[in-house]
């Protein structure tokens, strides 16, 4: 049975786990690796090369990506553009920031979306649900990473990634707050791809914490409904 997560707290989420996530990314960058991106020759594999792309239009688009829920691949159906509001202050054109928790929300009830990001390796493109950095329906093109990586990363491309949800919300559209989870090893990534579940993701965060980071908070919210595959 899928784990239901509703009515989330408005304070700092899992501060200790988030710190482990931040340290994981810092170590990845320090060792010469970076967020991986696929499907676009113009997307740099270095963090500095990811900066500078302006965010997309604030006009709502209707479209789909895939996501993973309770062992299945599902469709995430988007009907509104993203929401990012300060504080926290963001240097990105999108007003979105990672490494700092939200203070403003678009709704009183929402659920978490776990955005899993490959760090330092490029997985098969078929396993990336938003395979091109900075380009995904109703996502921001850029995000401020300076709270994690320091100066020079305040307007970085949103990395290529995939999605994990812990509830389908009965197929109804709602807002979802993004927690970033970094994956630093292809073996760990393949376990997530195979399991397609929040339960496995949570297990790996505890059992394989050197390869799968904790939850890194953001002020980014996406609006979609979870539909069948």
Question: Rounded to the nearest 10 degrees, what angle do helices 198-207 and 186-195 cross at?
Answer: 150
Residue 57 lies in a domain: no
Number of domains in the chain: 1
Read off the pLDDT of residues 8-19 as tens digits, 9 standing for 90 and up.
Answer: 433 334 433 344
Predicted local distance difference test score (pLDDT) of residue 38: 39
Map tokens 């997309």 to a residue. Answer: 56
Q: What are the residues facing 181 on neighbouring strands?
A: 116
Read off the pLDDT of residues 47-94 as tens digits, 9 standing for 90 and up.
Answer: 222 222 223 345 578 999 999 999 999 999 999 999 999 999 999 999
Q: Are 186 and 128 in contact (CB under 8 A)?
A: no
Residue 95 lies in a domain: yes
Mean pLDDT of 173-178: 98
Residue 184 lies in a domain: yes
* Of residues 41, 65, 40, 215, the one with CA closest to residue 137: 65
Residue 45 lies in a domain: no
Start-to-end C-alpha separation, the chain: 18
Range of weakest confidence among 24-28, 88-92, 114-118:
24-28
Residue 7 lies in a domain: no
Residue 26 lies in a domain: no
Read off the pLDDT of residues 55-68 as tens digits, 9 standing for 90 and up.
Answer: 334 557 899 999 99
Helices (H), 86-159: 146-149
Q: Are 130 and 91 in contact (CB under 8 A)?
A: no
Side-chain-side CA neighbours of 160 within 13 Å: the count stands at: 28
Q: Which residue has the higher pLDDT, 14 or 117?
A: 117
Mean pLDDT of 131-143: 97
Predicted local distance difference test score (pLDDT) of residue 46: 29
Residue 176 pLDDT > 60? yes
Q: Which domain holds residue 114?
A: 71-227
Residue 54 lies in a domain: no
Residue 59 lies in a domain: no
Q: pTM to 2 decimals?
A: 0.80
DSSP secondary structure string for all residues of 63-88: EEEEEEETTEEEEEEEEEEEE--SSS
């Amino acid at each position: 049975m899928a784990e239901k997560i509703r009515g989330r707290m408005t304070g700092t989420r899992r501060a200790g786990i988030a710190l482990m996530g931040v340290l994981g990314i810092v170590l990845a960058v320090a060792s010469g690796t970076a967020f991986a991106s696929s499907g676009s020759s113009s997307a740099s594999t270095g963090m500095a090369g990811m900066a500078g792309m302006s965010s997309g239009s604030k006009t709502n688009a209707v479209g789909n990506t895939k996501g993973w829920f309770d062992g299945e691949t599902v469709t995430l159906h988007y009907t509104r553009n993203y929401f990012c509001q300060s504080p926290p202050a963001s240097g990105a054109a999108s007003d979105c920031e990672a490494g700092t928790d939200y203070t403003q929300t678009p709704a009183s009830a929402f659920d978490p979306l776990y955005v899993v990001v490959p760090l330092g390796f490029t997985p098969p493109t078929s396993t990336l649900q938003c395979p091109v950095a900075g380009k995904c329906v109703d996502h921001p093109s850029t995000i401020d990473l300076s709270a994690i990586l320091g100066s020079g990363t305040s307007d970085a491309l949103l990395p290529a990634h995939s999605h994990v949800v812990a509830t389908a919300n009965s197929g109804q559209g709602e807002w979802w707050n993004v927690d970033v989870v970094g994956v630093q090893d292809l073996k760990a990534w393949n376990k997530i791809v195979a399991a397609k579940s929040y339960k496995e993701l949570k297990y790996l965060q505890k059992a394989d914490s050197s390869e799968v980071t904790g939850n890194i908070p953001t002020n980014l919210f996406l609006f979609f409904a979870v539909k069948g595959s």
